[in-house]
Chain A
Amino acid sequence: MTRLGHILKELGRNFARHWSTVLGSLMSLTLLFLLFDLFWIAAGTSQSFYDRLLADLQMEVIFSEELEDKVASGAADEARTLEGVLSVQYISKEDARAELSRLVGTDLLVGYDSINPLPRSMILTFQPGYLTSTHLGQVEAELRQVKGVDEIFYSRDWLTKMENGTQLIQDAGVVLGLLILLAALISSANNIRLMTQTRAIGFGQMRLLGGGKFFLAAPFLLEGLLVGSISAALGWAVILYAKDEVSFTQFDIIIPQLKDVGIFVAACGVLGLISGYLGIRKLLR
């Protein structure tokens, strides 16, 4: 307990004596983590927006004119068995006419009582995990093998572009995240190294009197842990405050769950702990 008390006292002493260094470290880390948080939110929000758009994605399959109703509806049954297919809606020629009539009114269809040029078709929707260009491409290829399938329409190009865009955001996020974490690590470690250098003689004496490595390092490790986690928490506090002040009507901002934020704060604390170790490492040799 005495040693723990001493370690905590040393921590307080570090904060009090080097308050400007600690404050500088806290502010720079908060800004770095804030940047990371903003990118996290932007990535989450764009992903949510993309998911919403994706959920409306359908595949329309047009059957050839010569195909009999019975065969076409059989093809629809076959499509239901394909992997990832959520629903299949078979649209007969009559259903198509009724739908067109509902959309454009009956006046335009005058004279087409005995003729129905509209094709039989089916509309496929997919389970969320299967809405990828790769999977839809496979489904398309399988459907093209089905007898009587004439045309297949879905937003193929749009999907590919969105997927590429999302992948780009993810890759950029990983690179940016790593750079930010590296910058935070170096910045925090340098600040701690700066503090320890002014106390090199004291450390030497403490070791000469029997002070162990952990005993000497603990206040700095704790400092790294605290500065890291407090900075991360401050970053989120700024965001939560700003979120209440700003409102968007076009889309909702997706804030990560509290549990994930907690994990992030803890991870930043661990990052601070590592930076504390890096800062004091040379002195303990």
Chain B
Amino acid sequence: MSTHNVVELTNVSLKSDRGDQIFDNLNLTLESGQSVIITGEAGAGKTILVELLTGQRMPHAGSVEMFGKVISTGKKSLLRTVRRRIGGVGGIFELIPSYTVAENVAFPLVLNGESRKGRREKLLRTLTDFSLLKQASQYPSRLTRVENTMVQFARASIASQPLLIVDEPAAGLDPKSMDWIYDYLVKVSLSGRSMIILSSEFPVKEIPNTECLEISNGALV
């Protein structure tokens, strides 16, 4: 078992292109199996935090360590490896428009070099779990908002990625779908996968083993 933390942000400072301070000495540690809910107002920097965690942005100061590897050096091969271990939903994570639902969901397995047989089995299981069998051959443009979110969850789970990042999980969803999603997040939390949930408001349902933090004035409190 790895002893590295899943996420280790140390004194991260980041300025916008205009020079505004977005993060100032931001620190965050997420151990394996641990989950955190990060709330904050719109524009507080939640999505930018996701960009930092996925190596899409580099901090001006401090270090970003994911799965024991410092990705703030910007080393491409390292970023590839780390990104393959992250499942993302919402925010910057979108579906690939030219792929069908099945291809979108199976994409992380393709990147991991999974055999065709293994891929097919996992895909079938995942599509069944997320009730997406009927939509398997459809393209994202034909999906409803709920279906789109479901496909993203399915993609973020198919390869048992150790970290699940969910950006605004309830955005634009009806109460029934929100219920389903919170139930799913509870399941993930209990499964031992690490999870970062970013939301403008506190979740309506309690998610066990999950710490709540707030981004305020560029720091996590």
A210/B111 in contact, CB under 8 A:
yes
Within 8 A of A (CB), among B176-212: none
Whether A208 touches B96, Cβ cut-off 8 Å, given contacts A2-B116, A3-B113, A215-B111, is: no
A212 part of interface (Cβ distance < 8 Å): yes
Interface size class of B (residues with CB under 8 A): 20 to 34
In the bound complex, how far is the Cα of B119 from the Cα of A109, in angstroms?
Answer: 102
Residue in contact with B98 in the complex, picked from A3, A5, A199, CB distance below 8 Å = A199
* Interface of A, helix, strand, loop or mixed by DSSP: helix
In the bound complex, how far is the Cα of B79 from the Cα of A207, in angstroms?
Answer: 9
In the bound complex, how far is the Cα of B113 from the Cα of A199, in angstroms?
Answer: 23
Within 8 A of B (CB), among A177-206: 199, 201-202, 205-206
Q: How far is the CB of B134 from chain A (nearest CB, A)?
A: 23
In the bound complex, how far is the Cα of B97 from the Cα of A23, in angstroms?
Answer: 24
A206/B96 in contact, CB under 8 A:
yes
Give the chain B neighbours of A213 by CB distance below 8 A.
76
B54-73 near A? 1/0 per residue, CB < 8 Å: 10100000000000000000
Give the chain A neighbours of B84 by CB distance below 8 A.
209-210
A212/B98 in contact, CB under 8 A:
no
Q: List 18 A-B contacts (CB under 8 A).
A: A1-B115, A2-B119, A3-B111, A13-B98, A17-B98, A201-B97, A202-B99, A205-B94, A208-B54, A208-B83, A208-B88, A209-B83, A209-B107, A210-B84, A210-B108, A211-B111, A212-B76, A215-B111
Q: Which residues of A contact B (CB under 8 A)?
A: 1-3, 5-6, 13, 17, 199, 201-202, 205-213, 215
7 further A-B pairs in the complex, CB-CB below 8 A; given A201-B94, A211-B111: A1-B115, A17-B98, A205-B95, A209-B88, A210-B82, A210-B83, A212-B76
